[in-house]
Chains A and B, each alone.
Chain A
Amino acid sequence: MPNNKKMYDKGKVIAGLCIFVILITFPFWYNLGRATPAPQPKISDKAKAAKECILPTELMKSEHMQLLNEWRDTVVRDAKRIYVSSDGKEYNMSLTNTCLDCHGAKAEFCEKCHNYASVTPYCWDCHIDPKEVK
């Protein structure tokens, strides 16, 4: 019986495999130890002074997108524009005039995290950041 288990071109195959593995994992070890630091959205002075947003900070971090969607539907479809938070404060439900009024330029707040997480919500296709109007 001839030995079928013999590997042809052993040297080339193994060298090729090594090169392949090195190339495919290149992005991982190239970036090893120098991960992009987590973004630090700039909290404006006005927001700092207010201490808390309309919901607890943790909740705002994780659920602002759902909240904005609800605001959008409530304002446009139900014609209700006032939001009363659980501590009784009233807010005008407006991205440009309420959110940005406190949080400052979108480039320093919204986009800090959105760019890092590579999400591109289309809010600003229509809504205006007053700080970017010349």
Chain B
Amino acid sequence: MESSKRSFLKIAGISALGLGAKPVFDVMASSGEMAKPKTMKGPKALLAKRWGMVIDTRKLRTEEDLKPMIEICNKIHNVPHYDNPLHEIKWIWSEEFENDFPMQEADFLDDRLKHMPFLTLCNHCNQPPCVRVCPTKATFKREDGIVMMDYHRCIGCRFCMAACPYGSRSFNFRDPRPFIKKLYTGYPTRTKGVVEKCDFCSERLAVGEMPGCVEVSKGALAFGDLDDPNSEVRKLLRDNYAIRRKPALGTGPSVFYIV
């Protein structure tokens, strides 16, 4: 009698253990038979350590020369147009030398530079101040150096606009949709209350295309990896004298101007 009670308890214990283990095995077995979904970069995606742009201002002398680049950008990013300059949204625009390069003016600047329009856009700084101040990490620096906006996270505090020394950021004071001439379905619009700026066409790089402005520039803009000594941009910088906007601030702009 005594021994049978003992064996009963043993069997009961082992069965309980077995029943308890079954769900665990079931889970392990089921996760084995179906592959887990995964995510990856596209096969054609262009990769770099630090994307940068070289603008050859010798090839861009008039507003007419800049127009196609500005227009293509506005078109493929659904940038709205406002008549009120206070509401203006700028991704890429034209600016005079004295505004783009304060402290770099010579006393007697040559006439060509003095009155020439300069193509101006986000510099995708190596040490971006906008990223440092963003309280929600809506603006961040990607591994390839692009300073990117996550519009989903932007709360519209505009700290980044205060921090950016280049005026590259614009705030949506109103719903931009009604002010977009023709909606381009390949890119989202923004909404009222978020900040926006140029993102070096990250959506185009992801599918193996050059940024829109570079594509229509007829060779005046070069785009490539600043970290790669053999890239086109590095070759241009080796052979030509190029300046950057407000270098003394230590932001390390990735946009260079050959003058």
Give per-residue flags for B36-52: 1 if the beta carbon is below 8 A from chain A beta carbons, else 0: 11111110010000000
A82 touches B40 (CB 8 A): yes
B185 touches A130 (CB 8 A): yes
Could you tell me the distance between the alpha carbons of A74 and B183 in the complex, rounded to whole angstroms?
Answer: 25
Q: Classify chain A: how many residues form its interface, as a range.
A: 20 to 34
B191 touches A88 (CB 8 A): no
Q: With a CB–CB cut-off of 8 A, which chain A residues contact B127?
A: none
- Give the residue of A76, A92, A128 whose beta carbon is less than 8 angstroms from that of B150: A76
A76 touches B41 (CB 8 A): no
B213 to chain A, nearest CB (A): 20
- Give the residue of B140, B189, B191 whose beta carbon is less than 8 angstroms from that of A122: B191
In the assembled complex, A77 has its CB within 8 A of some CB on chain B: yes
In the assembled complex, B151 has its CB within 8 A of some CB on chain A: yes
Question: Which residue on chain B has the smallest CB distance to residue A92?
Answer: B42
A77 touches B150 (CB 8 A): yes
List A residues 80-105 near B (Cβ within 8 Å). 80-88, 92-93, 96-97
Per the CB 8 Å criterion, the residue count for chain B at the interface is: 28
Question: Which residue on chain A has the smallest CB distance to residue B78?
Answer: A128
B188 touches A82 (CB 8 A): no
In the assembled complex, A5 has its CB within 8 A of some CB on chain B: no
Given A86-B35, A86-B36, A122-B191, A80:B185 Cβ within 8 A:
no
A67 to chain B, nearest CB (A): 9
A71 to chain B, nearest CB (A): 8
B183 touches A133 (CB 8 A): yes
- Give the residue of A74, A76, A96, A127 whose beta carbon is less than 8 angstroms from that of B39: A74
Given A77-B150, A126-B188, A128-B185, A86:B42 Cβ within 8 A:
no
Q: Besides A87-B35, A122-B191, A126-B190, 8 other CB < 8 A contacts? A: A55-B37, A77-B150, A82-B42, A86-B36, A93-B39, A96-B185, A125-B191, A126-B191
The 4 closest A-B pairs by CB, nearest first: A125-B191, A126-B188, A130-B185, A80-B39
Q: List 8 A-B contacts (CB under 8 A).
A: A76-B148, A76-B152, A80-B41, A83-B39, A86-B34, A86-B36, A97-B186, A128-B183
